[in-house]
Structures are given as C-alpha cells and as structure tokens.
Structure 1
C-alpha cells in the first residue's frame, strides 16, 4: 500500500513533527518520509486543514466472536473500528465460551491476523467468568493476553480478587476491574437520583461503584499490584482514584465516551437505546469525569462497544439489555464533550497502549504506518447505511455528528471514508 498524505497537521506528542503541517509518504505500509513538500508517483490523499495522529486504541470493546456472532463478528467489528479511527481493540471476554484459556486467546489471534485493526483478546480473571476459581491466566499471558478481567461481571469475592492481583504480579500482568457491588446495585436499571424517582424505577446508587473501587484500591495497595478500572462513572470514583494516584498506587482507569456527554435525563422517554451499564449519571458526575480527564486522573476514553440484536433492545426499557455500539462515534463524542484534540489523542491513542504495554505508533520515517486522518470541524451523518457494525443499537443513528474520520491506515491496509 503506497500513499501520500498531503499537508496534514500532525498531532502526535512522540513525533518530531508534532503540531507541524507536513506530507507523509507511505510505502508498503511503512512511513518512508515526513517532510514539507514531497513529490511521489503514488495515490495522493489531500489533507489540508485536516489532522493526522496515531491510530486510536479501544480498551473496552465487545465483539460476539466466539459464540455470539449474531451480535458482532470480527469482520464487522473491525470494520466499524476502522471507520471510527481505531487501529487496535482490546476484546472483552464476554463470549460463549468465555476467553478463559489459551485456546480461545490463540483462536482469536489467528482469526484476526489479516485485518487492518489489531485485535488483542483479554483473558478472563476467573474460570468461565463465574467468580469462583482463578482462570489459567499465566497460560493466556504466554499466548498473548495483555490483561485479565471478567468483563461485565464484577468480581464479588474479595479473596479471589486479592489472589488474582498477587498472581498477575508474578508476570507483570494487569487486572481490569469493572467496579460494581452487585448486592447494592441489585436488579436496578438506572442511576439512583431524581430521574429514577421521576421515572418510578429503582436506581443503582453511586455507592455500588465507589465501594468496589475502594475495595480494589485497598487490595492493590496491599498486594503492590497493577489495577485498571474500566468505565468509571461517578464523581466520587474520580476522587478515590485521584487520591490513590497521589499515594503512588499502580492504578489507571478509563471512561466510556457516552458518559462524557449524556446524563440520566436522556432516559425521560424510556428509550432503551440509552440503557447502559454503568448507568448514565448526573451533570455533576459528567463534570467530574471531564475534570478527571483534564488533570490526568482518568487515563483513557473507551467506546464500550456493546452490540445487541434488535430483539434485545427494541423492547420495554425494563427488560432491554444494557449497552450501545460506540466504535464509530467515540471520537465524535469526545469532541462533543469539549475536549481538546491533543488531549483526545492522548486518551484515545497513546495511553490505552501504554496501559497494556503495547508499542505506541509514532508518525516518523521508518515507523509502521499506523495512523488516522480526521477533520475536527467536519460534520457527518450517522445512518443505518454507513453503520458498519452488525448491530444498530445506538441512539446516535440518524443524527449529525462533528468530527469525521477520513482515513485509517494500519497493517499495510487503508480504510477511506465515503461518508458525506
């Protein structure tokens, strides 16, 4: 794949050309030259007034393969990822069977090796995601699993979490915690507050998340281990993690893009497309999440891409499944939240790879061409026709969004948007 990207503004803190306007010549999937005015007999992509950065990386992506391919398979999932500017995704092990042994890890690596988007399976923390016995984490680590989590099933057993932290410390692994105390959350569907009272629905209190974060921080401190919290959503959660970082704990965390722009007021119409977990919170929580991103408390932004067949979402709110698809909208939502593009690149492209200890792409001569070209001013309409996911459970389908991904390049392959 040979391509010349003309006159793009480079947004890459690790590049010697950061914040400069330059041409980027790509030959056979490698950046051959970065300079002011390159002449070459190859396909030209005009990027004047546009930006280019390392490709995005998603730390929390659900793709149905294995076993749930009717929701999403690797082909459609990676196509949606490329359209959203992602060149790498970490797959949650919420599959049937779960990714709880090296067999599943190796299968997914082999299935995904020819795609534009790099796929990194995450292994389960417990066998069958049942929260009882540790999974074969070292074997999965040897096969390439970068971190371990039970995905959307929070680990309720404190002893199991302690053992997992101790065990992964032996090979410098990372435990990813989805923080929720199930006994407190119960079977509630929305955030506990004024809106839940107005809707007449039992709410999930912020305490359910914060109590589990406090527990896992104590355990991480006690074991001197690394821990990553995924999709935090409350103001107090941000405070707890900020305090832990100030104490020197090995803690990182991320936030879902939709939690940066939506509050529980979106639920006024009982639209199940807005039913997510953790639930949409209050304006105070959203403001705290944005402040946490800006001061470095929150390390990354994730899509929390969660596809579902129509029969699981186009039903009454109470029985609908949690989750929305987010790979094609995460970048636009980060811009909608008012974040600076330099900060977005840090949270969407740089830090996620650092957390998993994956090589961070750099826009410089001699490096692999792993990049995305986008227009932060460009508007695009998200429609059922240009939605590349197999599922369509997004409240943003039918809306115009700001921040258009124009071109995604990785593994000697290129995706070019034709969305107007």
Structure 2
C-alpha cells in the first residue's frame, strides 16, 4: 500500500471542485485524504513533484492487444500492463483476437481474474462472432454478465447481416458493438494507402473507399437498429464527414483514431521499413490535417494506442509479408500532446484519453475530490524527452519511434493503492 503526496499539480477534472486549480494532493490508504495548498506530511511519505505537473482521473486506452493467451512470446498480461502503466493508463480495453479467441465467459474470466490485483484495470472486449469467423453470434450475454464491455471481431469488418443481428441482440442489455471499417473485397491484397507513395514504391494500395463503404453501411444499420456503434479507427476524410453528418442527426455513433496517425504519413514508407506497416495504413499530410480538424470539432471521440506487439520475425522480412502493427502504449500520450498541444486544450486532450472512452464503454469515471478512491494519471505537458529502446517494457520492440523527440511525459499512475512511477 503506497501513501503519496503529489505537489503543485494542476487538476484537470470537470467533475472536481478543484478543476483547473493547482494544489497538493495527499493519498492515504488508496483514497484521496486531502487536497489543499502546501500540505504538511511526514518526511517518509513518497513525493511526486515536477515543474509542470498535471493530474487527471485515470486514462483508459480503448484498443490494445496483449496477445495473451496464445501468443505470449509477443506480449503477455504482465508486460502489457506494465507498458500501459508507463503510458499513463489505469485501464485498457483488450481486443479478443487471442488463442483461443475471447468468445465466451471463460475467456473474459481469464482476463479479469489474472489481473484483478494489478494497478491497471483490464476492460475485456468480447468477440462478436464465434471464433471471430463472422458466422454465428458469440455468447455475448454471458460475456456481458462476466464483465465484457463491448463486442467486435477485432480488425475484421463484420458482415452486414451479422452486425445487424448483433446490434439488435445487444440492445436490451446495453452493450456496445464496435466495428473495424474495412471492406475486404475492395481492399483485396493491398497493404498501404493507395496514392502517390504506393504508386512510386510499387506497393499494393488500399483505396479509402474500402473504409467509406463500411462506414456508410454501418451508419444506416445503426440508425435502423437504434443501437450505439463505435468505429474503432477512422482514417478517411469522407468517413469523417459521414460520421459528422450522423452525429448532427443525434445518431449514437462514436469513433476512434490511433495517435500514430497524427504523426506519421505514407511518406515514411520510402525506406520500406515494416515498422510503418499498420492497419489502417498511414495516410497523406492532407488526411493528417483533417484528423486534427475532426478532433477540434469533436467528431473524433477517442484517441487509441492501437498497441499491437509483433515478434521480430514478423517484421524483419519483406514488406508485403510483414505483419501489421506497432507497440504504442508508452508513446501514445506523448505523440498526441506533441502534435495537439497548440491545437486543443489540455481538458480536450484528457477527454480523448479519459472521459470519452470511459463514457463510451460505460466504465466508472473517477473524480478528484477528498474521500474518493484514487485512480489518477499524473503527467507533465512541457517535458521534452527522447524515446529510446531502453524505455521499452513490452516484450516486443516493433516501434518506429526509437530516437523520436516528444513534448509531454507521463510521470506516473495511481490505482488500487499502487503508485507506478514512470
């Protein structure tokens, strides 16, 4: 049990009476004991202090893979939770594409029981279909009762009939359906964005219409079913406009964007470095500007790490044969803060990392006030630092960000009576 004093921290919590105030926060026995200026505590109490300390309710990453069970050589629950904590997250929603697939109550129980004492909470996302085969609905209700917060088939777009049945089935018990918008028939064997870069490099491209088709279809289905729907990752300008129009009609639509899409473009592909092979593929500078605009207009609801560990053998090969994905839990906030710090307020950034994902997944929203259980993320928005290989705590090292300079760093998290310092 860790008692802690956090000094001169600016509170970012619209539900707190201390919102936007700079205070000391004393945590005792896992609860916020006192909030005031210049709190006096015994000298043996652990102290957290920085030049530009900010504190918010604990963040929730809405899309990550820990590869456990089945692919523990890439990542396991222990290493994944460690990476999440270093990235500032006190909760992580895990995709269901493990081995076996998390498509029943036992799979949900495995995740919750094996992590219940950890500082980072696991939020299971159950498979929408049995074995993620896209044929029959999974045991959604049993998984819901066991603790699954939402359902999807990971990065497999669900066929229209199954998606409609799933939305209607989940509606009575209020579970969220998520979909990855990619029409596989249109995407075909493409593996990068279709455009000038793919043409010049001779790589097979995926046209943006592969995303647009599914977004358009899903919005109609959500409207017909009257059910909430979350698009896991958006990367198309036209898709953003469709979602904006849907929201203007008060349809229960939400969407996410991976933070690395704010920083990287398909120009990075010139070196054929498979660390830049991701799904959705990296887009052009035009799309990157559209993403920032959509964030400022509250069209994009959440920023996700899309943390996807891959073993070195899956990346050190020909680009066409390489696996998709990068590890990003430890760098997600740093990327977002670096790119958005002059575009949006700190409150808006916290909304994208904390309040919005918790609301969408119907998870408890911590509050920074005396007497409350401490579930907190502490960060510095101005600290400049360089991400190195020594910083990586994931089992896998598939990241293009080694040597990258960032502005904004997580100082630590506090949850379940545990303080994990970065």
TM bucket (normalised to shorter chain) is over 0.9
Partner of 1:27: 28
Work out the CA distance in 2 between the residues paired with 1:398 and 1:13: 35
Q: Confirm or deny: 8 A CA contact 1:123 1:148 kept in the other structure.
A: yes
Partner of 2:18: 17
Describe the SS at the equivalent of 1:63.
Answer: coil
Q: Confirm or deny: 8 A CA contact 1:8 1:48 kept in the other structure.
A: no
1:87 is matched with which residue: 83, 87, 90? 90
Describe the SS at the equivalent of 1:164.
Answer: helix
CA shift, 1:102, in A, is: 0.3
Work out the CA distance in 1 between the residues paired with 2:60 and 2:275: 24
Partner of 1:382: 387
Partner of 1:258: 260
Partner of 1:361: 366
Describe the SS at the equivalent of 1:105.
Answer: helix
Matches within 5 A, 1:217-232: 217-232=219-234
Work out the CA distance in 2 between the residues paired with 1:226 and 1:402: 35
Matches within 5 A, 1:339-418: 339=341, 340=344, 341-417=346-422
Describe the SS at the equivalent of 2:340.
Answer: coil
Q: Confirm or deny: 8 A CA contact 2:7 2:49 kept in the other structure.
A: yes
Work out the CA distance in 2 between the residues paired with 1:114 and 1:257: 29
Relative distance call for 1:29 and 1:4 in structure 2 (3 A) is: same
Q: Is 1:123 aligned to 2:147, yes or no? A: no
Matches within 5 A, 1:192-207: 192-207=194-209
Q: Confirm or deny: 8 A CA contact 2:79 2:394 kept in the other structure.
A: yes
CA shift, 1:125, in A, is: 0.4
Structure 2 residue runs without a partner (length 5+): none
Q: Confirm or deny: 8 A CA contact 1:234 1:286 kept in the other structure.
A: no
Q: Is 1:113 aligned to 2:109, yes or no? A: no
Describe the SS at the equivalent of 2:389.
Answer: coil
Work out the CA distance in 2 between the residues paired with 1:373 and 1:134: 40
Q: Confirm or deny: 8 A CA contact 1:6 1:48 kept in the other structure.
A: no
Matches within 5 A, 1:184-333: 184-333=186-335
Partner of 1:3: 4
Work out the CA distance in 1 between the residues paired with 2:130 and 2:382: 46
CA shift, 1:37, in A, is: 1.8
Work out the CA distance in 2 between the residues paired with 1:281 and 1:43: 45
TM-score normalised by L of structure 2: 0.97
CA shift, 1:416, in A, is: 1.0
Q: Confirm or deny: 8 A CA contact 2:257 2:302 kept in the other structure.
A: yes
1:132 is matched with which residue: 118, 123, 135? 135
Work out the CA distance in 1 between the residues paired with 2:48 and 2:201: 51
Q: Is 1:72 aligned to 2:75, yes or no? A: yes
Alpha-carbon RMSD across the aligned residues, in angstroms, is 1.0
Work out the CA distance in 2 between the residues paired with 1:351 and 1:109: 22
Describe the SS at the equivalent of 1:170.
Answer: helix
Describe the SS at the equivalent of 1:333.
Answer: helix
Work out the CA distance in 1 between the residues paired with 2:54 and 2:376: 10
Q: Mean Cα displacement is larger for which, 30-39 or 96-105?
A: 30-39
Structure 1 residue runs without a partner (length 5+): none
Work out the CA distance in 2 between the residues paired with 1:14 and 1:199: 50
Q: Confirm or deny: 8 A CA contact 1:26 1:33 kept in the other structure.
A: yes
Q: Confirm or deny: 8 A CA contact 1:5 1:47 kept in the other structure.
A: no
Q: Mean Cα displacement is larger for which, 46-55 or 124-133?
A: 46-55
CA shift, 1:235, in A, is: 0.9
CA shift, 1:48, in A, is: 4.2
Q: Confirm or deny: 8 A CA contact 2:127 2:152 kept in the other structure.
A: yes
CA shift, 1:362, in A, is: 1.3
Deviations 1:33-56 (A, max 9, x none): 111121111222223422111221
* Count of matched residue positions in the alignment of Structure 1 and Structure 2: 416
Q: Confirm or deny: 8 A CA contact 2:52 2:382 kept in the other structure.
A: no
TM-score normalised by L of structure 1: 0.97
Partner of 1:99: 102
Partner of 2:53: 50
Work out the CA distance in 2 between the residues paired with 1:15 and 1:292: 27
